[in-house]
Chains A and B, each alone.
Chain A
Amino acid sequence: MTSGMVGASPRRVGGPERVTGSQRYVADIHLPGELHVKLVTLDAPRARIHSIDTSRAEQMPGVVTVLTPDDLPQPIPRYGPQFQDRPVLAVEETKYHGEPVAAVAAETPEEAARAAAAIRVDHEILEGGVFSVAAALDPHSPLVQDPSMRTGNPLSHTNVLAEHRYEWGEIDDSTADLVIDEKYEFPMVTQFAIEPHAFMAAPDDGGIEVWSSVQHPFLLQKTMASILGMPLSRVRIHAPDPGGGFGGKQNPKYEPLVAFIALRAGRPARLILSLAETFQAVRRSSAEIRLRTGFTSDGTIVFQDFQSNFLIGAYGDIADRVVGKSNYLAAGPYRVPNVRIVARGLLSHTTPSTAMRGFGTPQLGWARESNIDRAARQLGIDRLQIRLKNLARAGEEFIPNETPADGDWAQTVERAAKLIDWGAPLADGAGRGLAIGLKSGPTSGLSYSTVRLLADGSAVVYAGTSDMGQGARTIFAQIISEELGIEIDRITVTMGDTARVPYDQQTSASRSSVLMGNAIARACADIRRQIQAKVAARLGVDVSEVLVELGKVQGPEGESTIGESLAMALGPLGGEFTGLGEMRVEGDPEHPLGGRAVFFELHCAACEVNVDRETGEIEVAKYVTVGDVGRALNPRQVAGQDEGAAIMGLGHTLMERMILDETGRIINMGAVDYRILTAMDVPMEMVSDSIENADGPGPFGIKGVSEGGLLATAPAVGSAVTEAVGVVINDLPITPERIWKAIREQR
Chain B
Amino acid sequence: MKQIVLTVNGRKHSYIPGESFLLEVLRDHLELTGSKVCCLEGECGACTVIMDGKSVNSCLILAEEADGAEIITVEGLAGEDLSPLQGAFLDNAAAQCGFCIPGQLMAAQALLDRNPSPSRAEVREALAGNLCRCAGYEQITDAVLDAARGPT
Contacts and interface: CB of A to CB of B under 8 A. Distances in A.
Interface of A: 9, 11-12, 14-25, 27-28, 191-196, 241-246, 272, 274-275, 468-471, 636-637, 639-640, 643-648, 670-672, 676-680, 682, 686
Contacts of A242: 97
A243 B105 contact: no
B134 interface: yes
B39 to A, nearest CB: 4
Contact of A670 (B43, B123, B124, B137): B43
A646 B135 CA distance: 9
Given A680-B125, A682-B124, A21 B96 contact: no
A670 B42 CA distance: 11
A20 B100 contact: no
B56 to A, nearest CB: 17
A637 B102 CA distance: 20
Given A21-B102, A194-B99, A647 B137 contact: yes
24 contacts: A16-B86, A18-B95, A18-B101, A19-B74, A19-B89, A20-B74, A21-B33, A25-B36, A28-B33, A194-B133, A195-B36, A196-B37, A241-B97, A241-B98, A275-B40, A639-B139, A640-B134, A640-B136, A644-B135, A644-B136, A647-B135, A647-B137, A670-B41, A671-B41
Nearest to B143: A19
Most central of B39, B75, B86 by chain A CB within 10 Å: B39
B93 A637 contact: yes
A191 B140 CA distance: 21
A629 to B, nearest CB: 16
Interface in B1-57: 27, 32-41, 43-44, 46
Contacts of A18: 95, 98, 101
Interface of B: 27, 32-41, 43-44, 46, 73-75, 77-78, 82, 86, 89-93, 95-102, 105, 123-125, 127-141
Contacts of B32: 21
A676 B77 contact: no
A243 B98 contact: yes
A644 B96 CA distance: 10
A672 B41 contact: yes
A21 B97 contact: no
Contact of B93 (A25, A244, A245, A636): A636
B128 A678 contact: yes
Contact of A679 (B34, B73, B95, B130): B130
Nearest to A672: B43
A242 B137 CA distance: 19
Nearest to B125: A680
B109 to A, nearest CB: 11
A469 B134 contact: yes
Given A20-B74, A275-B39, A678-B128, A192 B133 contact: yes
Contacts of B129: 678
Contact of B101 (A19, A676, A678): A19
Contacts of A274: 40
Most central of A23, A245, A272, A470 by chain B CB within 10 Å: A23
Most central of A12, A24, A672 by chain B CB within 10 Å: A12
Most central of B34, B92, B130 by chain A CB within 10 Å: B34
Query: Chain A contact residues: over half helix, strand or loop, or mixed?
Result: loop
Contacts of B35: 21
Interface pairs A-B: 9 shortest CB-CB: A21-B34, A243-B99, A469-B97, A18-B98, A647-B135, A671-B43, A469-B96, A21-B74, A28-B33
B33 A24 contact: yes
Nearest to A645: B135
Nearest to A276: B39
Given A468-B97, A676-B131, 18 more contacts: A18-B98, A19-B82, A22-B75, A196-B38, A275-B44, A469-B96, A469-B97, A469-B134, A470-B96, A471-B96, A640-B96, A643-B139, A647-B135, A672-B43, A676-B133, A678-B128, A679-B128, A679-B132
Contacts of B44: 194, 275, 671
A192 B93 CA distance: 21
Given A12-B93, A680-B124, A21 B73 contact: yes
A707 to B, nearest CB: 13
Nearest to B103: A194
B77 A20 contact: yes
Given A20-B78, A244-B97, A244-B134, A11 B91 contact: yes
Contacts of A672: 41, 43
A283 B2 CA distance: 45
Contact of A17 (B77, B98, B124, B127): B98
A424 B44 CA distance: 39
B134 A644 contact: yes
A711 to B, nearest CB: 15
Given A640-B139, A679-B141, A16 B90 contact: yes
A654 to B, nearest CB: 13
A640 B137 CA distance: 9
Contacts of B135: 643-648, 677, 682
A664 B101 CA distance: 35
Contacts of B138: 643, 682, 686
Given A15-B95, A272-B37, A194 B74 contact: no
Nearest to A671: B43
Most central of B39, B92, B98 by chain A CB within 10 Å: B98
Nearest to B83: A19
A678 B131 contact: yes
A603 B59 CA distance: 40
Contacts of B123: 679
Contacts of B133: 191-194, 244, 246, 648, 676
Nearest to A468: B97
A419 to B, nearest CB: 15
B59 to A, nearest CB: 11
Contacts of A27: 33, 37
Nearest to A246: B133
B44 to A, nearest CB: 5
Contacts of A194: 36, 38, 44, 46, 97, 99-100, 131-133
A465 to B, nearest CB: 14
Contacts of A643: 135-136, 138-139
A203 B42 CA distance: 36
A137 to B, nearest CB: 33
A225 B25 CA distance: 37
A251 B90 CA distance: 31
Contacts of A246: 133
Contacts of A637: 93
Contact of A11 (B41, B90, B98, B100): B90
A272 B44 CA distance: 17
Most central of B27, B100, B105, B133 by chain A CB within 10 Å: B133
B82 A20 contact: yes
Contacts of B127: 679
B55 to A, nearest CB: 14
A196 B95 CA distance: 18
A20 B34 contact: yes
B38 A195 contact: yes
B34 to A, nearest CB: 2
Contacts of B131: 194, 671, 676, 678
Contact of A15 (B75, B90, B132, B136): B90
B152 to A, nearest CB: 17
A617 B103 CA distance: 30
A16 B98 CA distance: 10
Contacts of A28: 27, 33
